[in-house]
Amino acid sequence: MKLVRYGRPGKEKPGLIDDEGKLRDLSGVIDDIGPEQLSDKALRKLSRIEPASLPAVRGNPRMGVPVARVGKFIGIGLNYHEHAREMDLPVPKEPIVFMKAVTSLSGADDPVMLAKGSRKTDWEVELGVVIGTRARHVSVEEAEKHIAGYCVVNDVTEREYQLERGGQWDKGKGCDTYGPVGPWLVTRDEVYRPDRLDLYLEVNGKRMQTGSTEDMIFSVPQIVSYLSRFMTLEPGDVIATGTPPGVGNARKPKRFLKKGDFMRLGIAGLGEQQQDVISFQQY
């Protein structure tokens, strides 16, 4: 299934995308798509619904983050061999872990707002993993069964804040709007080979990133197992698993996002995001 949350920010309704690509309303069946709806049992129940029996949604509504009430937004750094090579850094012996503030979450096509004073905001297309059942000290072999599904993540990063402001990656990762997720959550049963997914990202129509999850240093099960040693992973937690080569910080000359830029990115079978880059706005 492709599960979505559509509508205005804070007013999203649950839905699904049928086999013809039509958006169907699930609000008559469930109140939302949150942690309670992500277990294998809950997802099986939803999968038995005939999509044609659900109301079709007219128009082209906004797609919000496909999971409500995300508890943790976790990132894995430097997890592609080619990305490590372009950054001239050694391959990590263990996953590099950082946190993205949940306040950075935004819908797949929502604008990316440059952080106040930003000079080095960068792009990073990534495979997102959504946890479906609690994982604590799970083995690599057991890890997959704790996954509800997969999605596209743009791990937008302010490189100056990340690398030049005291060494705390979180400061460059958690800015408002720096975590677009979606457009939908594709359930685990429909992603047969998460280790063989093509990823891409364009800025203003120019291809910047092209890669495959085959190039990952640590696989999805390894990441889930590793994280579960240090923190309990709860249903609804989102993990961004690293980015392929082509980030702006590695280009010669370096290229960072500016007001008016337009990003388009996606992962095979998991959908596409499109974001306008706008200047900082005080709410």
CATH number for position 142: 3.90.850.10
Strand pairing report for 185-187 and 198-203: unpaired
Does 111 have pLDDT greater than 80? yes
HEC assignment per residue over 223-274: HHHHHHHHCCECCCCEEECCCCCCCHHHCCCCCCCCCCCEEEEEECCCEEEE
Give dist(CA 181, CA 176) in Å, integer.
13
Does 9 have pLDDT greater than 80? yes
Span 175-217, pLDDT tens digits: 999 999 999 999 999 999 999 999 999 999 999 999 999 999 9
Rounded mean pLDDT of 14-37?
Answer: 97
The tokens for 117 are 């004073």
Find out whether 77 and 159 touch, Cβ atoms under 8 Å: no
User: Quick check: is 80 in a domain?
Assistant: yes
Give dist(CA 248, CA 103) in Å, integer.
24
Span 129-166, pLDDT tens digits: 999 999 999 999 999 999 999 999 999 999 999 988 88
User: Quick check: is 240 in a domain?
Assistant: yes
User: Quick check: is 18 in a domain?
Assistant: no
Give dist(CA 155, CA 23) in Å, integer.
26
Give dist(CA 273, CA 263) in Å, integer.
8
Return mean pLDDT, the chain: 97
**Residue 121: its pLDDT value, please?**
98
Percentage above 70 pLDDT, the chain:
100
Amino acid letter at 168? Q
User: Quick check: is 208 in a domain?
Assistant: yes
pLDDT band at 283 (very low <50, low <70, confident <90, very high): low
**Residue 156: its pLDDT value, please?**
98
User: Quick check: is 205 in a domain?
Assistant: yes
User: Quick check: is 1 in a domain?
Assistant: no
What's the CA dihedral at 130, 132, 135, 139 to 10 degrees? -80
Does 62 have pLDDT greater than 90? yes
User: Quick check: is 283 in a domain?
Assistant: no
Residues 6+ positions from 178 with CB-CB distance below 8 Å: 100, 104, 112, 115, 121, 155, 156, 157, 158
The tokens for 185 are 């959550």
Give me the number of domains the chain comprises.
1
**Residue 77: its pLDDT value, please?**
96
Does 7 have pLDDT greater than 90? yes
User: Quick check: is 13 in a domain?
Assistant: no
Span 225-282, pLDDT tens digits: 999 999 999 999 999 999 999 999 999 999 999 999 999 999 999 999 999 999 998 7
**Residue 217: its pLDDT value, please?**
98
Q: What's the distance, Cα to Cα, between the start and end of the chain in Å?
A: 36
Residues 6+ positions from 192 with CB-CB distance below 8 Å: none
Range of the domain at 160: 68-278
